[in-house]
Chain A
Amino acid sequence: MRQLEESEFVSLYCDAHQRLWVLASAITADSSLAEDVLQEAAITALRKLEDFDPETSFVAWMSQIVRFTALNFLKIRNRRKTESLGVHSDTEPVTVNQSIAETSVSATGQLFSDQDDFDDEVVAAIKCLDPERRACLLLRSVHGLGYDEIAEIIGIPEGTAMSHVHRAKASMRQQLSSYRDRDDTSDQRDVHA
């Protein structure tokens, strides 16, 4: 079996970076941890390069390493939370990529006056999802990946990926149902200032 060259690894890693990043941030439910997870996963992968068959899917192989690394990060973080004094509650808002949030403007053509609150609640609702279900939802929403691609990255059957996305969306809708009622009372403002 030919071994992947390190330069080839870097190239493939760059190509897959965005999907792996979304996977890492989905599993940890914390986009600020994603880069750390990826870096650790990449170093692990480089150490195991001889185990990878270049004829197989790099994304699938790397995704598995990212998943295990991300779950480890979660375990360590949860253990630290329970061991430290003044433990934060489970309802603490998850870290949001602030630079992205600050620059988000009228992508919808509409602006809602409670947009920031809504984003915070979306993150909180996402955190309540099971990591695998959360990963499926994010890969679908952020990247628009097909269910076959999601299944390859997560390492589950395609039907399961489809079911996860469907159930995740239903769960999110239920948790954010109060915004549905607010939408009905026309809580919108025109794009024109």
Chain B
Amino acid sequence: MPNSNTSDEDSDLELDQRIDLSIRRTFAPPSVPNLSFLAEHFNSKTAATPSSNLAKTAELAMAVRDEHNTVGSSSVVSSRPIGDNQASVSQAPSRNKLRLAMIGLAAAITWIVVGSQFYGSWRSKNQTVAFQPRPLTELYQACVADGFRPYWVCEDEQLFASTFKDRQGVALNLQGLPASSKMVGLSYLLGISRQSTSVLAMTDDSPIIVFVDRLENDRKIDTGYIDGDDLHVTRIVRDDLVFYEVSPLPNARITPYLLPSPK
């Protein structure tokens, strides 16, 4: 596989990439914020009357639930716009019904706060890098602006295939790529999910990125011509995998050649 960089630049690039991955592992933030200290703050701050305390923490729980959907307690806590103030809570038909509702909310809040900590702990054990979905076109633009440099250039077909096997469950290789196209390398730009593998390639001097992931990790991603970025996003589903090819060209040029390895 052609590699136009000098040996020193290759070494620097590889070291940069290794450092980057190490930093991501070491400084990955927790996926769920710890909010129990806020509940304690509100409880100690507000007046001693149960209804005002619970109303305050009810707002807190609603804000957490609305924004993060961490625990499914929707049968008790109803969705409300952020910013609804305490006055609307206190306009319930009767004082007794309000107190019962607030007690129920308090139980739900406790479960939300405690449950989210367990959930966060579970997630942090199963997740090495924080993932925040970003438009694929944005990732493409950033990669191009950065010099379109892959994390690594894999010249070993078996290693290439095993990378996809390990990450996506299917060994893939580029087979029969036409002369107008060439493989640049592999990156881990995230994209569809934390586990996505990115294939960097060129066709007719146009940079192309194919984001590959398990079909089960697919999410709502805009496809077709993306006017603001002047880019095309093509989605292909095959072999329990989903491929999103991003490039200035209208049709997928690399994905059709990214095929399961012959056995």
Contact = CB atoms under 8 A, between A and B. Distances in A.
B230 interface: no
A43 B37 CA distance: 9
Nearest to B127: A103
Contacts of B56: 6
A113 interface: no
B15 A7 contact: no
A108 B21 contact: yes
Contacts of B166: 106, 109, 191
A101 to B, nearest CB: 6
A10 B38 contact: yes
Nearest to A184: B11
B101 interface: no
Contact of B151 (A34, A108, A138, A146): A108
B58 to A, nearest CB: 9
B26 A107 contact: no
Contacts of B28: 97, 100, 142
Nearest to B134: A144
Chain A, interface SS category: helix
Given A108-B188, A169-B16, A97 B68 contact: no
Contacts of A142: 23-24, 27-29, 129-130
B163 A191 contact: yes
A108 B77 CA distance: 43
B144 interface: no
B19 A7 contact: no
Contacts of B49: none
B25 A180 contact: no
Contact of B41 (A43, A177, A180, A190): A43
Contact of B67 (A14, A22, A108): A14
B186 interface: yes
Interface residues of B, number: 60
A11 to B, nearest CB: 4
Interface in B141-192: 142, 151-152, 154, 158-159, 162-163, 166-167, 186, 188
Contact of B19 (A35, A42, A144, A176): A176
Given A104-B128, A118-B18, A141-B23, A11 B29 contact: no
Given A101-B26, A108-B188, A179 B18 contact: yes
A25 interface: yes
B12 A100 contact: no
B82 A34 contact: no
A102 B240 CA distance: 29
Nearest to B34: A35
Given A8-B83, A108-B18, A173-B15, A14 B27 contact: no
A60 interface: no
B42 interface: yes
B34 A7 contact: no
Contact of B125 (A17, A103, A108): A103
Given A107-B25, A184-B11, A14 B18 contact: no
A82 interface: no
Interface string A3-17: 001111011011101
Interface of B: 11-12, 14-31, 33-35, 37-38, 41-42, 56, 59-60, 62-64, 66-68, 82-85, 124-126, 128-130, 132, 134, 142, 151-152, 154, 158-159, 162-163, 166-167, 186, 188
27 contacts: A6-B56, A6-B59, A8-B63, A10-B38, A10-B64, A11-B67, A14-B33, A14-B63, A14-B68, A17-B29, A18-B30, A21-B30, A31-B26, A35-B30, A39-B37, A99-B125, A100-B28, A103-B126, A108-B18, A108-B21, A109-B167, A110-B159, A118-B22, A141-B24, A143-B130, A169-B19, A173-B19
